[in-house]
């Protein structure tokens, strides 16, 4: 069974640029959730994708967008990067219909915006 993987591990971007982060869900999982973890804070929910559609969104502006592909992998796109976007971005996969809490997290992508 393959766990959740994320790429890249680290990324440095300049303010105003755009970035794409990638996540491969655990085998058999059909739901992907993205979280932003700023330094010294707990993760905050960005959005969730289920069957290639956005299935819930946190308090993040539209410049945060995503995609889910037929194989259930996912991308997080951030446009017009700001300094405050510097954070660890976590992807979590789960299987809809199972007991809540079975979210499996990837190792994260550390984004630094300069």
Partner 1 sequence: AQSVTQLDSQVPVFEEAPVELRCNYSSSVSVYLFWYVQYPNQGLQLLLKYLSGSTLVKGINGFEAEFNKSQTSFHLRKPSVHISDTAEYFCAVSSLSGNTPLVFGKGTRLSVIA
Chain residues in the site for partner 1 (CB under 8 A): 4, 31, 33, 35, 40-45, 48, 50, 55-56, 58, 90, 92, 94, 96-97, 99-101, 103-108
Give me the residue label for tokens 């502006």: 61
CB of 16 to partner 1, least distance (A): 28
Largest CA distance in the chain: 41
Q: Is 14 or 101 the residue whose CB approaches partner 1 more closely?
A: 101
CB of 103 to partner 1, least distance (A): 7
**Spacing of C-alpha 70 from chain mean position:** 17
Which strand (E) or helix (H) includes residue 23? strand 19-24
């Amino acid at each position: 069974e393959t766990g959740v993987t994320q790429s890249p591990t680290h990324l440095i971007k300049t303010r105003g640029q755009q970035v794409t982060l990638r996540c491969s869900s655990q085998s058999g999982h059909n739901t992907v959730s993205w979280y932003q973890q700023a330094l010294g804070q707990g993760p905050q929910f960005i959005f969730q994708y289920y069957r290639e559609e956005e299935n819930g969104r946190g308090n993040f502006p539209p410049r945060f967008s995503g995609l889910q592909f037929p194989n259930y992998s996912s991308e997080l796109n951030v446009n017009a990067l700001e300094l405050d976007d510097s954070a660890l971005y976590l992807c979590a996969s789960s299987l809809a219909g199972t007991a809540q809490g079975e979210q499996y997290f990837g190792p994260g992508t550390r984004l630094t915006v300069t």
